[in-house]
Amino acid sequence: MGKNWFDLTGRVAVITGGTGLLGQQHAEAVAGAGGIPVLADIYVSKLDIHSPEFNRRFGSSASVVQVDITSPASVQSLLDTVLRKYGRVDILINNAANNPKMEKTSEVEFSRLENFPLEQWQADLSVGLTGAFLCSQVIGTEMAKRKSGVIVNVASDLAVIAPDQRLYRKPELPPDQQPVKPVTYSVVKTGLIGLTRYLATYWAEAGIRVNAISPGGVYNNQPDDFVARLSTLIPLGRMANLDEYQAAILFLCSDASSYMTGTNLVIDGGRSCW
C-alpha cells in the first residue's frame, strides 16, 4: 500500500464557526481522517460534547471552545487552550462569517446599499475579514514557529462572481424595498482571497500552506422558488448537499494538496463558469 495522502492522524484542526452548519461538516471531515477537530465558535451551546452523537461524529478527542474571533485576547486564549490541551496546532480553518439569509424575509430590511448601516458593514467585516486575520496572525505565528501548518479560508462563489440580485426578488415589493445580498458578503469573501495570497507567500518558507475554498450555496430548506431560480444558474442544476465540501476540505487540510498554496478551490456546481 502507498502513502495515504489524506491521513490526518493526530493533527489538531481549529475550525472557526465550528458549531455552524458547515463548520460541523469540516469537523467531521477532519475527524474522519484521524484528525482532532476543535470547534471554535462564539455560540457553543448547540452541541453537547458529552453526547454519544458528538463522539461518533467528531471523535473522542474533539473539543468545543468558545471564542469571539473579533477579539485579539479571545483568539489568544483559544490558542492557549488548544496548546494546553493538545500541545500542538496543525490546521486552521477560517470559516466563521456573518451569513445573512436573504431568501428569508426577516433579514432584508437594511440589506440595500443605499441604507446599508455602517454598523452592519463594520460588524460583517469584523467577523469575516478581521476575524480571519486575527486567527491567522495568532495561530499562524504559532505554526510558523514550528515550521509547519495549513490554513484554509472559507470564501464563497461570491468571491469570484457578483451576487445575482434577481434571485432574491419579491414581486410584491417596490424596487427600493427589494431584498439583496448585502455588499459586505462580496467584500468579505473577495477580501479573503487577497488574505489567502498574502499569507501563502508570506509564510511559504515557514512551511505553512494557505488556500481558499469557494463553495456554492448549500441546500438547507430554503424556499422552493428560491431553490428553483438558483438551480437554473448552476450547470449541475442543483444546490450543494451539506456534506459535499467535506472531501475538498480534507484535500486542502492534508498532504494530498502538499504542492498547492495561495489558490482558491472553486466548488460551485459550475455556477461561475456560466
Residues forming contacts to ligand NAD in the complex (CB under 6 A) are 16-17, 19-23, 41-43, 67-70, 95-97, 99, 127, 131, 154, 156, 215, 217-218
**Min CB(144)–ligand NAD separation in Å:** 23
Grid cell, residue 145, equals 514557529
Min dist CB 148 to ligand NAD, Å, is 25
Residue 36's SS3 state is strand
Closest contact distance (angstroms) between CB of 194 and ligand NAD is: 15
| Beta carbon nearer to ligand NAD, 19 or 136 | 19
Helix (H) or strand (E) holding 145: helix 141-146
Give the residue at shortest CB distance from ligand NAD.
20
For the bound state, the minimum distance from the C-beta of residue 207 to ligand NAD, rounded and expressed in Å, comes to 26
Which residues are registered as beta bridge partners of 65?
40
36 or 230: CB nearest ligand NAD? 230
Which of these, 274, 131, 168, 157, lies nearest to 218 by C-alpha position?
A: 157
Nearer to ligand NAD, 187 or 206 (CB): 187
The DSSP output letter for 68 is -
**Angle at 245 (CA atoms; ends 239, 247), nearest 5 degrees:** 140
Per DSSP, 110 falls in state: T
Nearer to ligand NAD, 94 or 257 (CB): 94
**Shortest gap between Cβ of 203 and ligand NAD (angstroms)?**
21
User: Which CB, 1 or 228, lies closer to ligand NAD?
Assistant: 228
Task: Check: CB of residue 76 under 8 Å from CB of residue 89.
Answer: no
DSSP H/E element including 236: none
